[in-house]
Structures are given as structure tokens and as C-alpha cells.
């Protein structure tokens, strides 16, 4: 196939889309290729800032005709940098950020450029929500297509489990709707199979009534981190669907290195309080922030990680958390190479674990924990030490990932 070399070809593309078409040297080009992970510095040959499904169709057809690799950006939060490519086409969906709620049907139609702040604010205006990412700047598209863990997963399943339908542009430029009733094989694939099957231009989500919750953070000195981790394991192994928890080792500006648990009980406080109390009884917490809390506040429990820092994340889904794994977590916490880095443990459970594997492409239903080393640092002369820290931790827990 011919490659894009002429201004005439790019001019023709620009004339056929509503959004902007950017090339290297254009004033907006460098800003448009900036994504969450500052390690990723790639230069697309052309960026199409789509304003609708029609723009996406035109862009895909143009890339196909001119043999251009396509990358798709929603929120731009993917740490591996899938939202950016060298010498190809970036289809930028970040301007598509509308959310439309049908409160009677409890359904949301959401554009692929939305992040979870956009999405949650609209849903909670109607007292509704669905499972979504725990960092509010995360884009809904990439997280949902990959599965989607979140604080409501025990009650309502993963983000992808709550997708009723998608509008999608296929690799040949055709527009399709995929649901359980229409193009069911494609519907199966996009729920956990990532962005491999086309460019999703709209998501229809099932929503659920979510009012006041019980939750918050409990934070301990790192010396109590192992005891807190043991309690976390015990609580998450026996807790009900309504209780979701995450454990982390982080460095906080005013406290230094700490261990913390973020907890959320999706139900009456009188029922949730005894379930969360074991965390409050661990040693003497630096912070006991458990109390009545809104879903929007729950979604802000984890601080935003600024765009542009260097990121290398590595971990595994595992079925259990034996003593050796807890040792690995605490050792990695001791060995952190950056004040921005973290160890994070999420605990998929309940409705997220019960869906049969055959019903969606997501493939980790039988795993109990998602454990990751998040190496995050400002640019320095020896990035490999941060990367190696994450790799060493992942290698240590890998035997339990089978």
C-alpha cells in the first residue's frame, strides 16, 4: 500500500472530519500526544482529534488505505502506552466526554473520552453508579475494555460486566452495535478483550442505586504494615459482596512510609461497621478515617497520580496470599526506590468472580488478588533502578500466579 507522504492526502482527510487533524510541527501536536506515562515519548505521523463516530470511521479508512498503524487514546492512562504510536495514526477520543443518563432505565450512555470524574458526577446526580476505576482521572474506555476493577465490583461485577452494548468502528471502517442480542461474539470480545477488535465510540452501562456508603482509609506506620496486611487477607477472604478493600504501601509527605487500607461497604453502616472494625483495631492507626461517605468521596480516596511522571508497573493476579507473598510485599515496601512509588493490592470478589468465564473475554475470575509494584518517579539519570525494583517484586510473586 501507499504511505502518507503528501499534504494533499492529509488535507483531504482534514476536509472529511469535524475534528482537528494534527501533524508534527503543528502548535497543538505535542500537547495532543502527551499521555499519563511520561516514559512514553512517541510521535505519530498524524493525529485525528475525533468529534464523533463519523470522524473515527474516516480516520480508520484513511489509515487502512495508507498502511498506517493505529493507536487509540481515550483517557491516555494506559501505563504501557497503548494510547500512542510512532509514525502511525493516533485517533484521539479525548474530546468525546458526554454522559447521558436514563434514570428510569438506570442506564448511562457514555463517550469514550470520559474519565471517571466525568462519569461518576453525572451518575451520582441521579443516585446511581456502576463499577469504575479507583483513580478518577482514569479513562472509562481502556479500563472497561480490559475488565475494570473498582469498589463496587463485589456487588455489581467488573466494569465490563455492566456494559449493555457498545458502538464500535471495525478495522475495515464499518460501524456496528454489539450487545447480547446483536453481534454477540463481538460483544463477548470487547468485555475484557481490550481494544483489539475496533474503536469503541460509545458505551451503554447498566447503573445501580448507590447512596451513602460506609468507608474511608485506615493508615498505619509501616512497622504495623505486616499485621495490617494479615488482617486485610483475612477480611477479604471472608467478607461479603458488599465489602471491597484495597491495601497499599506508599510514602505520604507528612507521614513518611505507611501502610493503608481503603475500605468501602455498599450497604447500611450498621451492617458494615463490624466488618471493617478489624482494621481499626490493628495497633494504633495514624489515621482512622472510617465513617459515612458518598460514592464520589470513595472514588477520591486514592490521590491522583500526576500526568507526566515516569511509570513502570508490574504485577500478577494470584489465587491466595501465603506468608511468603506477604513477606515479598513488605520487603518491596522497604526497598522502594522513589517517594512516588507504591505497592497496591486489590481483591476481586463477589459478583466479579461469579460470572462464568464463557460469558465474557475477561480471564482472571478465579484469582483472589491483583498485586502490583507501581514504580513511579521523576526523570533521573538511572531509571533502570526503579524498573528493576518492580521487576524483582513481580518475579518473586510470579510462582503464585498460575
For the chain, what are the domain ranges?
7-92, 99-209, 213-400
Report which of 401, 343, 345 is spatially closest to residue 369, judged by C-alpha positions.
345
Architecture of domain 7-92: 2-Layer Sandwich (3.30)
Q: What per-residue confidence (pLDDT) applies to 7?
A: 82
Q: What per-residue confidence (pLDDT) applies to 5?
A: 47
147-190 residue pLDDT tens: 999 999 999 999 999 999 999 999 999 999 999 999 999 999 99
pLDDT band at residue 3 using 50, 70 and 90 as cut-offs: very low
Q: What per-residue confidence (pLDDT) applies to 8?
A: 84
pLDDT band at residue 272 using 50, 70 and 90 as cut-offs: very high
* pLDDT beyond 90 at 238: yes
* pLDDT beyond 60 at 4: no
Contacts of 266 (CB under 8 A, 6+ apart): 151, 152, 154, 155, 210, 213, 242, 243, 244
* pLDDT beyond 60 at 107: yes
**Average pLDDT for the chain:** 96
* pLDDT beyond 80 at 6: no
What is the mean predicted confidence (pLDDT) over 361-385? 95
Architecture of domain 213-400: 3-Layer(aba) Sandwich (3.40)
CA dihedral 157, 263, 79, 72 (to 10 degrees): 40
Q: Provide the CATH topology of domain 99-209.
A: 3.30.465
Q: What per-residue confidence (pLDDT) applies to 178?
A: 98
Environment class of 319 (CB within 10 Å of its CB; exposed 0-12, middle 13-18, buried 19+)? exposed
pLDDT > 90 in the chain, percent: 92
Asked whether 204 and 262 are in contact (CB, 8 A), the reply is no
Amino acid at each position: 500500500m501507499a504511505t502518507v507522504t503528501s499534504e494533499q492526502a492529509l488535507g483531504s482527510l482534514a476536509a472529511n472530519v469535524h475534528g482537528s487533524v494534527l501533524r508534527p510541527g503543528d502548535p497543538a501536536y505535542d500537547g495532543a500526544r502527551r499521555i499519563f506515562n511520561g516514559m512514553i515519548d512517541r510521535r505519530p505521523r498524524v493525529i485525528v482529534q475525533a468529534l464523533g463516530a463519523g470522524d473515527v470511521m474516516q480516520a480508520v479508512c484513511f489509515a487502512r488505505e495508507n498502511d498506517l498503524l493505529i493507536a487509540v487514546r481515550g483517557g491516555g492512562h494506559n501505563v504501557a502506552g497503548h494510547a500512542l504510536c510512532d509514525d502511525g495514526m493516533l485517533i484521539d477520543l479525548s474530546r468525546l466526554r458526554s454522559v447521558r443518563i436514563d434514570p428510569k432505565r438506570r442506564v448511562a450512555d457514555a463517550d469514550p473520552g470520559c474519565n471517571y470524574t466525568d462519569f461518576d458526577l453525572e451518575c451520582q446526580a441521579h443516585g446511581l453508579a456502576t463499577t469504575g476505576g479507583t483513580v478518577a482521572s482514569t479513562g472509562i474506555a481502556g479500563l472497561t475494555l480490559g475488565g475494570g476493577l473498582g469498589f463496587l465490583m463485589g456487588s455489581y461485577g467488573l466494569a465490563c460486566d455492566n456494559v449493555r452494548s457498545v458502538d464500535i468502528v471495525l478495522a475495515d471502517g464499518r460501524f456496528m452495535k454489539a450487545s447480547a442480542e446483536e453481534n454477540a461474539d463481538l460483544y463477548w470480545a470487547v468485555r475484557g478483550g481490550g481494544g483489539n477488535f475496533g474503536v469503541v465510540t460509545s458505551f451503554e452501562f447498566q447503573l445501580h442505586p448507590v447512596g451513602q456508603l460506609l468507608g474511608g482509609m485506615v493508615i498505619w506506620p509501616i512497622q504495623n504494615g505486616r499485621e495490617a496486611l494479615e488482617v486485610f487477607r483475612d477480611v477479604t477472604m471472608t467478607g461479603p459482596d458488599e465489602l471491597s478493600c484495597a491495601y497499599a504501601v506508599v510514602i505520604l509527605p507528612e507521614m513518611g512510609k505507611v501502610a493503608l487500607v481503603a475500605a468501602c461497604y455498599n450497604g447500611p453502616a450498621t451492617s458494615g461497621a463490624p466488618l471493617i472494625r478489624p482494621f481499626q483495631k490493628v495497633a494504633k492507626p495514624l489515621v482512622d478515617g472510617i465513617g459515612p461517605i458518598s460514592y464520589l468521596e470513595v472514588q477520591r480516596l486514592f490521590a491522583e497520580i500526576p500526568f507526566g511522571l515516569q511509570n513502570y508497573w508490574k504485577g500478577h493476579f494470584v489465587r491466595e496470599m501465603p506468608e511468603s507473598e506477604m513477606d515479598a510485599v513488605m520487603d518491596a515496601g522497604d526497598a522502594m526506590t522513589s517517594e512516588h512509588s507504591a505497592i497496591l493490592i486489590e481483591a476481586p470478589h463477589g459478583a466479579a468472580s461469579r460470572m462464568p468465564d464463557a460469558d465474557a473475554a475477561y480471564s482472571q475470575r478465579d484469582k483472589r488478588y491483583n498485586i502490583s509494584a507501581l514504580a513511579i518517579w521523576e526523570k533521573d539519570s538511572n531509571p533502570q533502578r526503579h524498573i528493576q525494583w518492580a521487576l524483582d517484586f513481580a518475579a518473586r510473586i510470579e510462582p503464585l500466579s498460575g
